[in-house]
Each structure stands twice: as structure tokens, then as C-alpha cells.
Amino acid sequence: MAEAAAASALVGAAPAAPRRTCWRRPPAARRVAGLRSRAAAGDGMPTPLEVLRNDVSCLKDLHGELVAAHRSAHDEVVAVLNPIAGEQMTRALEEQIAGMQAELAVAHVQIHRSEGRLRDTVAHLTELENNVRQSFGSGAWTDGPATVASAEAGVAAAAATAAAAEATAAPAAAPTAAPEAVQQQRPRPAAPPAQRAAAQRSGGGRAGLASRGQPGLTIPEQLKDFWFPVEFSASLVEGRMVPFELFGDMWVLFRDESGAAACVKDECAHRACPLSLGSLVDGRLQCPYHGWEYDREGACTKMPSTAFCKGIKVQALPVAEADGLVWVWPGRPEARAEAGPPPLLARPPAGFEVHAELVLDVPVEHGLLLENLLDLAHAPFTHTTTFAKGWPVPDAVRFNAARLLGGSWEPYPIDMEFGPPCMVLSTIGLTSPGKIERGARAASCKNHLHQLHVCLPSSEGRTRLLYRMSLDFLGWTRGLPGIGAFWKSIAEQVLGEDLVLVKGQQDRMARGADVWANPVSYDKLGVRYRRWRNSVASGDPAVRQQAEASLRQMSAGDIFAPTGGQEEEAH
Ligand code: FES
Ligand SMILES: [Fe+2]
């Protein structure tokens, strides 16, 4: 019945056209009436041509309307009679609905994510508030300086090693790899202040390992009382200014008229313009703004275009040069008198030649980076596309402490040492160029790679990294064109594998995490660094001496009692 009715409608569409033509005539009639009214108004009767034109125009309108009506009727009938066309229309409608539902689902997920982020932010703020309350409300209690770490003096060193070997025999290490994503970790509630204070008083346990949350990311002021190597001597050529950040302040290095290295605050005393944007005039810094000039002591010696004002100066730091490095002293003068000259730590051993010196700025807290460099156990898991590609995971990784902050790794032929306040030195044994052999000791290997890593505390969350690589073989490669860029590329690839992890740790610390919650035996060197740093941060010489003495007494056997795999010295 429905088909018959539809067919009838289809058949009836054509005969209906004339009726609709008549029904639609009024416009044409109106036009004719208009012609007639013109005649009545004395404009004269329409000519036959005008009448003809009028009728043609009317017929055109009618024809267009008829075609449209016919098409519409045709579509309706096809939709009813043709199941395939009907299905297509249904499908199109369903697809439209499905698309809208998918958009709705995406919007839902985004809303839930936003809610989650909001919850985390509120939790973080609450944690921060609690920390602040505990820090200021309970008087003397403060967490130790921060840290996280994993290590890698050996990393870059190892990278360089592998690269060195491959430079002669095999292709260079593979390009950077994306480290695995750091698993999300919920902020832990802070321990009650009384409990932490008790641990601190006990002088043992994890008191010296404090590394929780934001306080652990704060650079202790007491750390300033050291010599810091801030640039390679070879890079500070005459006429060059090197701006750098240290403990949150901006400084500029340059050479004076005699060629001696100098360091002053990178901030003009007139209008605070960075002096490093200016130029050097006869060994004096000239501000680019109004031309004031400063000598190596920071004293203003010239004020063009105005009467000279005496006594204007910017802060200057004591500077020394040793072992191919420029050192500055940012701390108290009285502490410098006690400390003497820069320590003789950084020089490559006899028989080694420097092959690369690099400076990189990295967006992580310097202690976290140091702890990364002081850890070799992560290499087979982290450096899977560079120097540790294909390394098997050892049954056990150990660090055998031969001195307070140094010793040798096992099973890797790597000797490693932390050099206060921010250096990691390592010597890697290579049985053949570029190959690190497991089970050997560095001293028994034929070739060696020596590395210096300096992690300068630029500011909270930023580090200026100085890296120097020396070899006791492959001396001929030093003159190769592009060799510097080659080493830089290798170092950046290795560092890139670590940075993503260390940045992740930093993020979790900022959310309240403790990066030293469960240290194990291969964390020994990193743990020692953290204890050293926290003892310095205490600001109490007695605490520092006690900490150093207790570290000296710890042999490997003393420190690592079998407490379920946990590192004893950390508890
Ligand atoms: S800001 Fe440096 S001279 Fe004016
Ligand atoms: Fe690493």
C-alpha cells in the first residue's frame, strides 16, 4: 500500500504542475496588472513585445520551481522505494551521531584529566604548606639539601670511551634514545617533625640523607664556601666575555689587560644593564648602554658624558686558574682564607691528553645530576642506545670504597671519585679502544679514558655542566677536523638519555617525593655525596666533621649489612 501511494504521488507530480502554474501565476498576473495600471495611469498600453517579455519571464520562474519540486519529490520517493539509498541515508546519519558521541567522549576525558590535575595541584599546595609550617613552626628543623641522583661520571665517560673505540674501528654510538617514562608517584606525607628531629639527633639513620620534596631542591647557602671551576682556561680567550649563573646570580668572566682572568657581577651599577652585552676596552668591561667602564675589581673607572662619581663599583669574585680551569670563590672571605687555593683534583693523570672540553646548561638541580653521574648501575637500563647498548644486566653491581668519596666499580673497570663541592672524576679502563670489559679493573686495562664532570649550581633547577675528556691513547685524533663536534654529539646523546629521567625525579621531588627513600648497595657513592652535602648544609662544622669521620670509618663490609637488600648506611 505504501508503495502504491508513493507511486501515485510520483505519477501525480507531473499533472499537478499546470495547477501549480496557475496557482503561482499571481506574480505574473501582478506584472500584467502593473502593465495595465500603467496604461490606466496614462502611461499608455504595453506593447506586444513587453507583454511577450513578461510572459517569458513568468514562464522561466515557473520552470525553475517545477524542476526543484520534481527533484525533491524524486528524492523522497527514492528514499522510500530504494532500500539501499535509505540505508545510505541511515548510515550517514548514524556516522554523524557516532562522530558527535566520539567528540563528547574526548571532551569527557579532558574534563576528567583537568579534574585530576586540579586535585594534584591542591595536594601539592597542601604539602608545601605543611612543609613550610613544619620548617618555620618547629624552629631548627630543616630538611637537608636535595638530591636525587643517579650517576654518571661514568656515563659520559663511558660514552666517550665507547665513542673513542668506535672512532677508530666501528661506527659511533647510536643516536639518542628516549628513556622510559618515569612512573608516576604519589607524594608521600611528610614524616612528623618530632620523628625527623629524633632521627637527626641520633646522628645516624637517614638523617644525613634527607632529600625530600622542595627543601631538597634548595641549594644550601653554605655550599658557597668552596672554589668552583666555572670555565675552561682555553675557552676564555682574550677579548671574550663569558656570562654564567652561579647560586642564582649572574657573573661575567673576562681577561684583563695583563691576560689574567677576572670575574665581576654581570650587572651595570648605573641601570643594571648586563655588562656581558658590551665590549672589552683595554681589559676593562664597557657597558653597552652609556659606556661606563669597570676594571677587574669591579670598580667603575669611566663615566662618559657626565661628571665622574667616585666609589661606584660592582661586586667582583676572587679568581684563580689551575689545571686548565678558571675557578671563582662565591663564599665568605674568611672561609677562603681557611680553604687556601683550589684543590688539585681536576687535572688529568700523567700520560693523558685532553681531547674534548664542553660546557652545557641543563635544566636540572645540580645535586640530582651529580648523583646521576655517581651511579653506574643504571647504565644497562638507561643508555641502551649509546655506550651501554647491548650490555647484559650484571648479577650484582658494587662500588668498592677505597677512600671517603671514591673507589672502584665492579664488574666495570671504572674508578670514580666525588670531588667537593661539585665534581665527579672517573677513569675508565678499555681493554681495546672503545670497549669496556666487564670483570676487569681499570688499572689492568691497556687504554684509559679520564673524565671530569663539573656540575655548577646555577640556580634551583639549573646546572652549568663542564665536561672534559682525556685519553691515554688515540692522541693522533686530536687534530682531526670536526673531532670536537663529534665528541660533543656523543656527550649530548648520553646526557639526553639521563636528563629525561633526572628531570622526572626533579618533578617528583617538587611534589614531595623522597629520592633516597630506599637506597641499596650500589647507591653507596651517591649516598655518600648526599650525606656530605647535607652535613655542609647544616652549617655546623662539628656536624660536618662528624659526618666525614663516620664516612671514613665505613668500609664496604661495615656499611652494607644484609638488611633485605637495603643499604645499611641509609637507615
Ligand atoms: S646602564 Fe650601564 S652605563 Fe648606563
Ligand atoms: Fe647515565
The string of pLDDT tens digits covering residues 419-463 is: 999 999 999 888 665 566 666 677 777 788 899 999 999 998 999
**Ligand 1 pocket, 304 CB below 6 A?**
no
Q: Is the pLDDT of residue 359 over 70?
A: yes
pLDDT surpasses 60 at 93 = yes
* Protein residue with its CA nearest to atom 3 in ligand 1: 290
Residue having the nearest C-alpha atom to atom 1 of ligand 1: 271
Q: Express as a percent the part of the chain with pLDDT over 90.
A: 35
C-alpha cell at 543: 656536624
pLDDT higher than 50, residue 189: no
Q: Which atom of ligand 1 is nearest to the CA of 268?
A: 2
**Predicted local distance difference test score (pLDDT) of residue 79:** 61
> Which DSSP letter does residue 520 get?
B
Distance, CA 326 to ligand 1 centroid (Å)? 27
Range with top average pLDDT, 177-186, 282-291, 345-354: 282-291
Atom from ligand 1 closest to the CA of residue 273: 1
**Residue 382 backbone dihedrals phi, psi, to 5 degrees:** -100, -40
Give the sign of the dihedral formed by CA 98, CA 100, CA 101, CA 107.
positive
Instruction: Enumerate the H helices of 319-447 as residue ranges.
Output: 333-339, 366-373, 379-382
pLDDT of residue 118: 58
The confidence score (pLDDT) of residue 83 equals 59
- Closest CA relative to residue 205, chosen from 509, 563, 525, 536: 563
Q: What is the pLDDT of residue 545?
A: 73
CA dihedral 490, 491, 494, 499 (to 10 degrees): -140
* Predicted pLDDT of residue 318: 98
Per the model's pLDDT, the better-predicted residue between 543 and 175 turns out to be: 543
Domains of the chain: 2-81 (no CATH), 105-207 (no CATH), 228-322 (2.102.10.10), 343-517 (3.90.380.10)
pLDDT tens digits, residue range 100-146?
888 877 777 776 776 666 565 445 444 544 443 333 332 222 222 22
- pLDDT attached to residue 402: 72
Please name which ligand lies nearest the alpha carbon of 495. 2
Tell me, using a 6 A CB cutoff, whether residue 347 lines ligand 1: no
Calpha distance 154→164 (Å, rounded): 14
Question: What does the alpha-carbon distance between residue 409 and residue 242 come to, in Å, rounded to a whole number?
Answer: 36
- Cell digits of residue 316: 667582583
For 106, residues 6+ apart whose C-beta sits below 8 A from its C-beta are none
In the sheet that holds 293-294, the strands lie side by side as: 279-281, 284-286, 293-294, 300-302
Residue 395 scores a pLDDT above 70: yes
Angle made by CA atoms 81, 84, 85, in degrees to the nearest 5: 70
* Residue 549 CA, ligand 2 centroid: distance in Å: 30
Spell out the residues 6+ positions from residue 514 whose beta carbon is closer than 8 angstroms to its own.
Answer: 188, 211, 212, 213, 216
CA end-to-end distance (rounded Å), the chain: 90
270: Cβ below 6 Å to ligand 1?
yes
pLDDT greater than 80 at residue 403: no
Task: Give the atom of ligand 1 at the shortest distance from the alpha carbon of 287.
Answer: 2
Query: Residue whose CA is closest, atom 4 of ligand 1?
Result: 290
Q: Which residues of 16-26 are buried (b: 16+ CB within 10 A; e: fewer)?
A: ebeeebeebee
Which pLDDT belongs to residue 328? 98
| pLDDT tens digits for range 294-342 | 999 999 999 999 999 999 999 999 999 999 999 999 999 999 999 999 9
Is the pLDDT at 33 greater than 90, yes or no?
no
What was the pLDDT predicted at 280? Answer: 98
d(CA 62, CA 55): 11
Average pLDDT taken over every residue of the chain: 74
Mutational test site, ligand 1, from 266, 267, 271, max ligand atoms within 8 Å of CB:
271
| Residue tagged 675589581 (cell numbers) | 297
